[in-house]
Chain A
């Protein structure tokens, strides 16, 4: 059994983010970089599956990322948590890739690695589009098991609880498959000191676009199929009325709601 976990390095979700006026892309230098939080749940889920199957002899976990030099830190984090090896696709031509371009690179890497199971977070906290898992399923021809709140493996069948607005759907498919996980599916472990030391010796393969048979023109700003025309700081909201409750706070809100025709 071979599992590949896709991770993305993102600006810290608690930091103020901004766009770079030079080319309207995310200014990745402006905020501390961390592993996308939802991807940590995916790494943890992969490690738990590995443990259930009997360890690294029965199941390997590879961490895959696409991103600039610095993004290797997100692979290392996965290795420190316990993954076996890593793959980092890095190429100057990647800068400015949209979701379609990114998914094309990830798909090429997944096709070359040939895992039984692909795991990833259901969205990234920077772009928040939540489309790459579906795009990857489409591109790699794998059954799409997205928004999983629970994952079970039963032989060559994978079964998830797909979280919906009204509860969840039970969805199953045969391997090879692609699963995206939601927040709180598990408690991601913190790397132990031993894990941090061991990670230094784990192999990380660095691939360029050419290694995946991809041409520069299909990715980056040039290969993307959508573009940002312009951006501006949102005008601050006009200052509202703030009152202190003196026993009539609720009534005052009701008066405001009446004036605005909500009641």
Chain B
């Protein structure tokens, strides 16, 4: 069976969950093969094998982190050449999409981004216009490159054949032109990344103040969730902008999305409507968010959430 390449996301020796999701998806399309680029430890290779990769293409080198995406494009292209793969899946993260974009220019193949599923024959499912429209798209030229959103499929552990192949990659000088000179990490309080998290707890206008976000954060921490915010909350300066969920912010597609004090304007829905399950707490019974919910509470988030947090903590023991 022909190989399907999965661009692995890993950091500090840990393979990110989305990689296992994509390996699971790749198994439905062909023979899953992972491409690991950067500082690839034996732990990373072992995780990819346990996650279902029959072949693991390795482009090992610390210098891949020193330049913006272009050298990784060369490595992924080398894996494509070595494998003769029939399709390439990348995580629909900022960097994953940039790598895919440049690879598409180099290979002349079509690219589809933000797929929420991929059917036989590499037919991608996309959810567009704030989740109001479902689209089936195909690549019509070349080996399809499809960027798939995290949480689109449930990862299954499926021990693969785990054949390791080290790639011989030539990186052109022009691909080293943008150099990373420093990395600055900002406090994230140990929470999962917003776009990858299985559960997201968000706050909006109804939170009322920067201090009000402590009830959002407490609930998130009791569930092991990421924290998000609506544009109303970030525009008001109550929560940092990088946590904004919506049309001009991040798009999330978690297993569970809990919207608190968020009315559900199209601006926000565009960023969260593909969530598998949606819960909302809002004082306004007429808020459009209640049209989306699996479960909703009409009430004050400042009383409902602390009670919920306490219950979650108690039941999780």
Q: Given A17-B129, A227-B137, verify A171-B308 contact (CB < 8 Å).
A: no
A226-B112, A244-B285, A260-B277 as given contacts; A171 in contact with B104, CB under 8 Å? no
Q: Is A8 an interface residue (CB 8 A)?
A: no
Interface residue stretch chosen among B32-40, B53-61, B180-188: B180-188
Chain A interface extent, by class: 35 or more
Partner pick for B188 among A137, A166, A169, A232, CB 8 A cutoff: A166
Contact assessment for B133 and A242 in the assembled complex, using a CB-CB cutoff below 8 Å? no
Q: Is A89 an interface residue (CB 8 A)?
A: no
Which residues 169-204 in B have Cβ within 8 Å of A in the complex?
Answer: 174, 177-186, 188, 193-195, 199
Would A18 and B178 be within 8 Å (CB), given that A13-B267, A227-B137 are in contact? no
CB of A228 within 8 Å of the partner chain: yes
In the complex, which of the residues A164, A183, A240, A262 contacts B248, with contact meaning CB atoms closer than 8 Å? A183
Write out the residue numbers on chain B whose beta carbons fall within 8 Å of the beta carbon of A15: 266
Partner of A167, one of B123, B131, B186: B186
Contact A131 B100 (CB under 8 A): yes
Give the complex CA separation of A173 and B177 in angstroms.
6
| Interface residues of B, dominant DSSP | mixed
Chain B residues, Cβ within 8 Å of A137:
70, 102
Is B139 in contact with A225, judged by CB distance below 8 angstroms? yes
The CA-CA distance from A16 to B131 in the complex, in Å, is 11
Distance of B122 from chain A, by nearest CB (Å) = 11
**B178 pairs with A144, CB closer than 8 A:** yes
In the complex, the answer to whether A263 meets B248 with C-beta atoms within 8 Å is: no
Contact partner, B68, options A165, A171, A262, Cβ 8 Å: A171
Contact indicator B68/A131 (Cβ below 8 Å)? no
Contact assessment for A253 and B295 in the assembled complex, using a CB-CB cutoff below 8 Å: yes
Instruction: Please pick, from A19, A165, A229, the residue contacting B138 in the complex, using a CB distance under 8 A.
Output: A229
Q: In the complex, what residues of B have CB within 8 A of residue A224's CB?
A: 110, 140
- In A6-39, the 8 Å CB interface with B consists of 13-19, 37-38
A134 to B308, CA, bound (A): 44
* Chain B hits for A172, CB < 8 A: 178-179, 181
Give the distance in Å from the alpha carbon of A13 to the alpha carbon of B129 in the complex: 9
B24 proximal to A (CB < 8 A): no
A249 to B70 alpha-carbon distance, docked (Å): 51
For window 89-141 of chain B, which residues contact chain A by CB distance below 8 Å? 93-94, 97-102, 104-106, 108-114, 123, 127-141
Query: In whole angstroms, how far apart are the Cα atoms of A259 and B98 in the complex?
Result: 40
Give the A-B pair count, Cβ closer than 8 A: 268
> How far is B95's CA from A171's CA once the two chains are assembled, in angstroms?
14
What chain B residues lie within 8 Å of A165 (beta carbons)?
93-94, 193-195
A226-B248 contact in complex given A165-B195, A169-B184, A244-B285, C-beta closer than 8 Å = no
The CA-CA distance from A88 to B187 in the complex, in Å, is 43
Those of B289-310 within 8 Å (CB) of chain A: 290-300, 303-310
Contacting residue for A229 out of B98, B130, B136, CB 8 A: B136
Given A226-B111, A250-B308, the answer on whether A167 and B241 have CB atoms closer than 8 Å is no
Is B167 an interface residue when CB atoms closer than 8 A count as contact?
no
In the complex, what residues of A have CB within 8 A of residue B178's CB?
143-145, 171-173, 177
**Are A135 and B183 within 8 A (Cβ)?**
no
A77 at interface by CB-CB < 8 Å: no
Cα distance A174–B174 in the bound complex, in angstroms: 11
Beta-carbon contacts under 8 Å, A218-263 to B: 224-234, 236-237, 240-245, 248-254, 256-258, 260, 262-263
Complex CA distance for A165 and B309, rounded to whole angstroms:
26
Smallest CB–CB gap between A154 and chain B, Å?
A: 12
Q: What are the 9 tightest A-B residue pairs by CB atom distance, in nearest-first order?
A: A245-B299, A250-B307, A225-B110, A254-B311, A250-B308, A131-B101, A143-B177, A226-B110, A242-B296
Please list 26 pairs of residues, one from A and one from B, whose beta carbons are closer than 8 Å in the complex, sorted by A's number. Answer: A15-B266, A137-B70, A144-B68, A161-B184, A168-B183, A169-B184, A170-B181, A170-B182, A170-B183, A171-B68, A171-B178, A177-B178, A184-B241, A227-B140, A228-B136, A229-B123, A230-B135, A231-B135, A237-B294, A245-B298, A250-B307, A251-B308, A252-B295, A253-B281, A253-B311, A257-B279
Not counting A130-B113, A164-B94, A224-B140, a sample of 15 additional A-B residue pairs whose C-beta atoms are within 8 angstroms of each other reads A14-B266, A16-B266, A100-B105, A134-B101, A138-B70, A138-B106, A143-B177, A225-B139, A225-B140, A225-B141, A231-B128, A242-B285, A249-B299, A253-B308, A254-B308
Binding site for A on B (CB under 8 A): 68-70, 73, 93-94, 97-102, 104-106, 108-114, 123, 127-142, 174, 177-186, 188, 193-195, 199, 223, 241-242, 244, 247-249, 251, 255-256, 265-267, 270, 277-279, 281, 285, 290-300, 303-312, 315-316
